[in-house]
Chains A and B, each alone.
Chain A
């Protein structure tokens, strides 16, 4: 039987494919590439921060490094990671469709993504930008003499790829579900994709407008943000965070979707509180739009606004907490299989907990005034974004790898690198909470000597983390050349996607089952398969 790799074959078949499974691969390869670029920038930064006196790179180069690190990691790695790779591959399989509703739009979104990426790469190679990934005005519009326009253009263009993906996913979920699949039979991963897509469609245009205005203001001297021409620089922060806070959920919600699937499979339990988890995704998507002001507590907005935003930020924590409670309840007294995907997912839950709780610290006005723009913030968002979203992504890739590739990886290497990543991660970022609390500001390339020890711990941690990331890239790639293939349902899992062969045929299913299985019916399934 032919699988999607073979029908049709050849390089061209990849570049003009409209098969969602191949497009997922295009994204996987591209975001891995971008991740490596972002990681190199991080490496240089941490090497620079190894000693208190900046002496490897100049302050200016350091600024360019953290800007490109932030821009690439957010817009070119994390935002597209789970939706465009796992979402693209799995969404149609999970709902029993042949493809997305708009297959050509899907391919186009990858090209648009790559064009945006090329602009950003160009900007990087040609000297970089020094505004930070936030492009704050008036610095970005009037003072910076780096490639603001090119980088902004890159972000602007990529935004459209995100919007296209969102449009495609929402319409697909509405229109191509298996006849027997009503909303409450959908896997929670699909719910998560749905909520994420809503954010992509509604928030991304706002970001696109913001960076477009930056570009125009810089080139043509328009005065929307420039006080000298009557404009207001704070407005930029408002519209920027109106996107960028919800964008945090673009990064974390999909990972939460992965968690529910993996957790249920590796504890052989029905996820507890299915409807709560489903609704909480939507709640997060909607509340996420109301809290942007917590990034602006010290920007000079009114005390009243600060108080409201602080309060709302506590509210948006509620649906996240609901999810964590449901997962904990699922695990309670379950028989847990500590396979690679599960280790990542347990890592997700604990790191997300730390990140989330410290987020509440930051949402409290009084504490934020103390730790604002210190390493405390850096640690917080890395716990959420790297500890949360990247762990979710890796967990998902490992879980569905047998389905995607028809091959399996070496479980020992898998577990080993998952553990290294979790250790390395904590070693890198935990010291940064302390550093921040002690008062070390972010975005500086040198610092007082008292902070040196903790910074060195952090840098050592990064090397460990780097090694941890390196392994999966190697053993997953190698597994592709294995002769041995796996059966349809490697983990004896319950979702619809496991009913077709691995890797699936071009049209996903040779024959659709008349009714869809109950996605979390693990009590009645045979035990976990795979290697032990």
Chain B
């Protein structure tokens, strides 16, 4: 357990960052409920869902590498991380084309602007965390057999699970809220 504590405390701190953003978003959503539901339809539901599956699977691989003491699973997890980023890239690209990605808004109502602002900001921040996570997994892979580095693999794993967890909140709050409210 020795040196995992720092990571846990750090993650508590990270949680406050995403926590406050998700809180802000929820307040905004309450004030513009219908508009947000409508705007949610403009996100790529399929992309979001596939990404959710990808991230959950990668988390599973990370856990497996810990249980089976096999660093190859880390590679699989990293590959899935890269796939996640690529899919997000496509999604961002499409939204930009449609004038719905921050910095490139075209004729949106104020509620829509707000929805896509939050979407852009939160997912981008999450994406940064995914990238850092991939680097950490890479470092863990690299140092896997180094007897001095007992902690890194486990800490990288914790971080990855956290990044996954955050996505589990982002996904319904952005992609699913409009599902039962037709367009």
Residues of chain A having any CB pair with chain B under 8 Å: 101-102, 105, 163, 166-168, 170-171, 174-175, 201-206, 208-210, 213, 216, 220, 222-224, 228-232, 235, 239, 242
Contact B12 A206 (CB under 8 A): no
Most chain A beta-carbon contacts within 10 A, residue among B2, B5, B109: B5
Q: Which residues on the A side are within 8 Å of B13 (C-beta)?
A: 163, 166-167, 201-202, 204-205
Expressed in whole angstroms, the Cα–Cα distance for A74 and B9 within the complex equals 24
Q: Give the A-B contact count at a CB cut-off of 8 A.
A: 83
Known: A101-B3, A205-B14, A230-B110. A224 touches B117 (CB 8 A): yes
- B67 lies within 8 A of chain A by Cβ: no
Residues in chain A near residue B6, CB distance under 8 A: 101-102, 105, 167-168, 171
Docked-complex contact A209 and B114, CB < 8 angstroms: no
Residues of A within 8 A of B12 (CB): 201-202
How distant is the Cα of A216 from the Cα of B120 in the complex, in angstroms? Answer: 12
Extra contacts, 4 of them, besides A174-B5, A205-B17 (Cβ < 8 A), are A202-B12, A209-B21, A222-B121, A229-B110
Judge whether B46 is part of the interface by a CB distance below 8 angstroms: no
- In angstroms, how far is the closest chain A Cβ from the Cβ of B148? 14
Residue of B nearest to A167 (CB): B9
Q: Is the CB of A231 within 8 A of B114?
A: yes
Q: Given A206-B17, A232-B31, does the pair A220, B102 have CB atoms closer than 8 Å? A: yes
> Binding site of A, secondary structure by majority: helix, strand, loop or mixed?
helix
- Does B118 lie within 8 Å of A175, measured CB to CB? no
Instruction: List chain B residues, Cβ under 8 A from A208.
Output: 17
- Verify B114–A223 contact, CB threshold 8 A: yes
What is the bound-complex CA distance between A223 and B108, given in angstroms?
12
Q: In terms of DSSP, what is the predominant structure of the interface of chain B?
A: helix
Q: Contact between B110 and A228 (Cβ–Cβ < 8 Å)?
A: yes
Encoded as 1 (CB less than 8 Å from any A CB) or 0, chain B from 77 to 116 comes to: 0000000000000000000000000110000011101100
Tell me whether B10 and A167 are in contact (CB under 8 A): yes
Question: Which of B3, B14, B24, B121 makes the CB contact (< 8 A) with A235?
Answer: B24
Contact A239 B3 (CB under 8 A): no
Cα-based distance from A235 to B114 in the complex (angstroms): 14
- Closest Cβ of chain B: how far from A480's Cβ, in Å? 34
Nearest-neighbour CB distance to chain A for B120, whole angstroms, equals: 8
Q: CA of A208 to CA of B12 in the docked complex: distance in angstroms? A: 15
Give the complex CA separation of A167 and B14 in angstroms. Answer: 12
- Residues facing A in B57-84 (CB within 8 A) are none
* CB < 8 Å neighbour of A232 from B2, B3, B28: B28
Considering the complex of A and B, which 8 residue pairs feature the smallest CB-CB distances, nearest first?
A: A230-B110, A230-B114, A205-B16, A205-B17, A171-B5, A167-B9, A171-B6, A201-B13
Contacting residues, chain A, for B32 (C-beta < 8 A): 230
Asked if B168 lies at the interface with its beta carbon under 8 angstroms from chain A, I say: no
B135 to chain A: closest CB distance in Å?
17
Would you call A170 and B110 a contact (CB within 8 A)? no
CB interface residues, B 1-39, toward A, < 8 Å: 2-3, 5-6, 9-10, 12-14, 16-17, 20-21, 24, 27-28, 31-32
- Which B residues are CB-close (under 8 A) to A230? 28, 32, 109-111, 113-114
CB neighbours (8 Å) of A101 from chain B are 3, 6
Q: Is the CB of B118 within 8 A of A224?
A: yes
A19 to B46, CA, bound (A): 53
CB-nearest residue of chain B relative to A221? B103
B170 to chain A, nearest CB (A): 15
Q: A175-B2, A229-B114, A230-B110 are in contact. Are A206 and B28 (CB under 8 A)?
A: no
Give, as a whole number of angstroms, the nearest-CB distance from B24 to chain A: 6
How many whole Å from B107's CB to the nearest CB in chain A?
A: 13
A-B contact pairs, 14 of them (CB 8 A): A167-B9, A171-B5, A171-B9, A201-B9, A203-B16, A204-B13, A223-B110, A223-B114, A223-B117, A224-B24, A228-B110, A230-B110, A230-B113, A235-B27
